[in-house]
Every structure is written in structure tokens, then in C-alpha cells.
Amino acid sequence: MVEIIDFKIRPAFTSRGDPTLEAEVIVRGGKGRATSPMGASAGKNEAVHLPKGGPKASIEILVSNRNRIIGIDAGDLKALSDTLKDIDGTEKFENIGAAAAYAITVASAEAEADSRGVPMYEVLIGKEKPTIPYPLGNVLGGGKHAGKGSPDIQEFLVTPLGAPNIVEAIKVNLEVHKKVRSIIEERDPTFTGGKGDEGAWAPKMTDEEAFEVVEKAIDHVSRELGYKIGFGIDMASSSLWENGKYVYRRKGKILTPEEQLAYVEDLVKRYNLIYVEDPFHEEDFESFSELTKKIKDVVIVGDDLFVTNVARLERGIKMNAANGVILKVNQVGTLYDALLFSKLAIDNGYKVIASHRSGDTWDHHLAHIAIGAKAWLIKTGIVGGERMSKLMELCRIWEGLQE
């Protein structure tokens, strides 16, 4: 047992410049430090990022409850999760904020690992052989992550299915990202090179044009490098949902839920998509389940639908609503709850995609969390320090496994 002997919590900022919290957990012979990311297209059923009074209010509560956190076994993620929930006293961390729950629980797992001299993922999966997930990254995007005139669909994603290892996989995604830029420039010589919050190119373009650009880039790089590259999208449909319809502003198109279903089916066929995230808004379990019934060999992923919440996933499982889940620890708050969620998903044949947030931090923990959650893919962008930190940590872990 490695007791928490001290902890610190301080205001911090994400890559988008939004306020968040950073925690430091100190144990005998080790310490951990973690900073919570924050979403922009956040689901309405997610835990609350920060309390109404901001970081200051959260810090005050935690400091006044110091003695309840000190003494907990840093590796006992359940005890820590229970204590934080108890201190908070609400269902969705309205008082201390999910940012605090994220930062303290992730820092604690890291402190435990540090004191034992093992990689953090080992605290999560023990001696089991780790599997390195392949990276899924967005090369082009719009929606809430980019400015006016960019596509309505939030993310056009690629994953290098055939790459032999993580280093090669990262290179493949980078090549597609670069190729996408040059194709955009061929079509629009005035393109400024603007990017969205996660480093994906954000050109003035309709969704249809964006599909063509990414498809062309994938074909080119895949032929050049000889690897199969999967094409996916995150429609983040809750962001399109207004008064009972899906509103595509850039295109000036409005779809009923039935039309949205037909549109998604058509996109999957036309562009050979292997991955579709949030094709419907966050309460429409029914349409999710209809789509999952209709199309085979495509991973249908719930992000805002499930918000890393066990009860919502249980409902989805009963309805066969999807076959993939996004796992974002800060959607639920504690690392313990997120791991319960991934276990439930895997036990029911769902694929897990461990994901960053659009406002992320320099931390690399997502690499360990993805391995701990037995993720199929890690969704963490392609360029930018806060994205590369996770990818580089996966390279280090992979290297360690070769030795």
C-alpha cells in the first residue's frame, strides 16, 4: 500500500486557453501530476467541468477536505473515486468539478506507478501484456472546433490500419495530414493554413468537398506507403441538432432524423467509411440502433450518447445502439469510473476508443489510460504538442516492450 501523503491542486489552462485544474499527488517515494482536458462539443450528460465559482471554488473545497484524501492508498482507485464523490455530494461533480476528479485520480495512479518504478498502465492492467492502440486522428474539420465557413461535420479522421508499429502509424497519419493540406491548396490558393482546435485543417469547404479531399489524400498516401488507411468521421451530431432537425449551416441543408439516417448510410457506402462517431444527437438511442442494425463492418461509436457513463452504456447495450464507445475520463470524472465503463463495453463486444478533448494539455497520460482501458484506437489528433505528447508516450512504451 502506497499512501497519499500530500496533494496540491492549482489553476491551469488547456491548449485552447480555457481554465482547468492541475493536481499533484505525493506518496512515499513518488509523485504524479495531471491536468484535466476540456471539450467544446461537450455532451449535456457529461459531468460538469468546473463548478460555478471556477477553479477557486473547487480548490477551496478540496483544500478544506485535505484530511479525507491524505491517507488513501494511491493505487486504490475506487477508494479515491468514492471519497471524491462523497466530498462533492452531487451526481455530476457540480461542486468540485470533473476537472478536479480527473486530475487527482490520474495523478494518483501516476504516483503509485512512480513509487513502484513501473509504467502507469501497469497500475491499471497489472502484469497483463499491454496492447498498443493505433492512432485515429483528424486531418480536416469544422463544426465547433473551427471557424465560420469550415465544414459542418466536426472531424474527418484517418487511422493507418496496416502500419506495422506505432512509429510507422504516426508517420502515416502525418503524411495524410500533409497531403490534405496540399490538396486544399490546389483547390483554394488563398487557403491560409488555418487549423481547428485539434490541429486538423479548417478550410472554407462544404462537407462534400472535404470528403473528396480526404479520400484523395488517403488514396495517394496509401498507394505511396503501401498501407491500408481507414477513413472515419465524427459528426458530433448534437452540435447540428436544432428544434428536431439536423441543421448543416455551411451547406444550408436541414435534415429530419430519417433523412439523417439515409445520409449517413450513403456516406458510409460512398466513402468506404470504417468508423462513424455520433451520427445522431445525444438522446437518439433509437436511430443509433437502427443504423447499427443496417450497416455491417463499420464501427458505430457513441461519444455524447454514452459520455463514458455506465448507466447510459447499459441502456445502449440493451438496445444494440452501437458497437463502439468513446472513452473520455473527464466526461465522467474519475479514472475508476472510466475503467468500469471500458470493461462493460469490452465485455459486451464494443470497441473502445480512448480519446483526447479538443482543449487538451501537455500530459501524456492518455497513452497509459488507452492501454489500461484496452482500447482498440487512441483518438488524439495528429499534430500539435498536446497531441504529440500522447503519441510520443506510446512510442516510448512500445520501445520499452521491445527490450
Q: Which residues pair with 68 in a beta bridge?
A: none
Nearer to Mg ion, 32 or 279 (CB): 279
Residue 200 touches which of Mg ion, ligand 2PG, none (Cβ within 5-8 Å per kind)? none
> Quick one: 179 or 357, whose CB is closer to Mg ion?
357
Instruction: Say how many residues touch Mg ion, by CB under 5 A.
Output: 3
The closest of 44, 96, 106 to 68, measured between CA atoms, is 96
Minimum CB separation of residue 157 from ligand 2PG in Å reads: 9
Selecting among 85, 195, 328, 379, the annotated active-site residue is 328
Give Cα 210 distance to the centre of its chain: 22
Q: Which does 39 bind (CB under 5 to 8 A by kind): Mg ion, ligand 2PG, none?
A: ligand 2PG
CA distances in angstroms from 280 to 227, 242, 305, 323, 364, listed in the order given: 31, 12, 8, 14, 31
Compute the least distance from the CB of residue 300 to ligand 2PG, in Å.
14
Q: Which does 42 bind (CB under 5 to 8 A by kind): ligand 2PG, Mg ion, none?
A: ligand 2PG
Comparison of 122 and 304: residue with beta carbon closer to ligand 2PG: 304
Please count the other Cβ atoms lying within 10 Å of the Cβ belonging to residue 376: 19
Distances (CA, A) of 57 to 10, 21, 45, 52, 300: 11, 11, 22, 8, 39
C-alpha to C-alpha distance for 206 and 166, rounded to whole angstroms: 32
Q: Widest CA span of the chain, in angstroms?
A: 61
Site mask for Mg ion (CB under 5 A), range 259-288, x = bound? ------------------x-----------
Min CB(263)–Mg ion separation in Å? 18
Q: Does residue 139 sit in helix, strand or coil? A: strand
Q: Which of 22, 24, 122, 198 is catalytic?
A: 198
* DSSP type of residue 284: -
From residue 209, alpha-carbon distances to 11, 153, 157, 213 in Å are 41, 11, 15, 6
Cell numbers for 193: 493554413
Cβ distance to ligand 2PG smaller for residue 32 or 39: 39
Does position 303 interact with Mg ion (CB under 5 A)? The reply is yes
Q: Which is nearer to ligand 2PG, 153 or 218 (CB)?
A: 153
Q: Which residues pair with 198 in a beta bridge?
A: none
Query: Nearest residue by C-beta to Mg ion?
Result: 303
Q: Could you tell me the smallest distance in angstroms from the CB atom of residue 198 to ligand 2PG?
A: 6
* Among 189, 177, 269, 276, residue whose Cα is nearest residue 220: 177
| Comparison of 85 and 351: residue with beta carbon closer to Mg ion | 351
For position 46 contacting Mg ion by CB under 5 A, the verdict is no
CB of 47 to Mg ion, least distance (A): 16
Tell me if 207 contacts Mg ion by CB under 5 A. no
Report residue 233 as a C-alpha cell.
468521421
Residue nearer to Mg ion on the CB measure, 157 or 214: 157
* Distance of closest approach, residue 235 Cβ to Mg ion, in angstroms: 8
Decide: is 88 part of the binding site for Mg ion (CB under 5 A). no
40 makes contact, choosing from ligand 2PG, Mg ion, none, with CB < 5 to 8 Å by partner type, with ligand 2PG
Is residue 234 close enough to count as binding Mg ion by CB under 5 A?
yes
Angle at 107 (CA atoms; ends 155, 135), nearest 5 degrees? 30
CA distance 153 to 140: 10
Phi, psi angles (nearest 5°) of residue 29: 75, 20
Q: DSSP per residue over 239-260, as a string? A: GTEETTEEEETTTTEEE-HHHH
328 is catalytic: yes
d(CA 211, CA 233): 10
Binding residues for ligand 2PG, per CB under 6 A?
A: 39-42, 155, 198, 234, 236, 303, 326, 355, 357-358
- Is 216 a catalytic site residue? no
What does residue 152 show for φ and ψ, rounded to 5 degrees?
-75, -35
Q: Residue 112's binding partner, choosing from ligand 2PG, Mg ion, none, with beta-carbon cut-off 5 to 8 A by kind?
A: none
Q: Annotated active-site positions, please?
A: 198, 328
Instruction: Please report, as ranges, the residues that interact with Mg ion according to CB under 5 A.
Output: 234, 277, 303
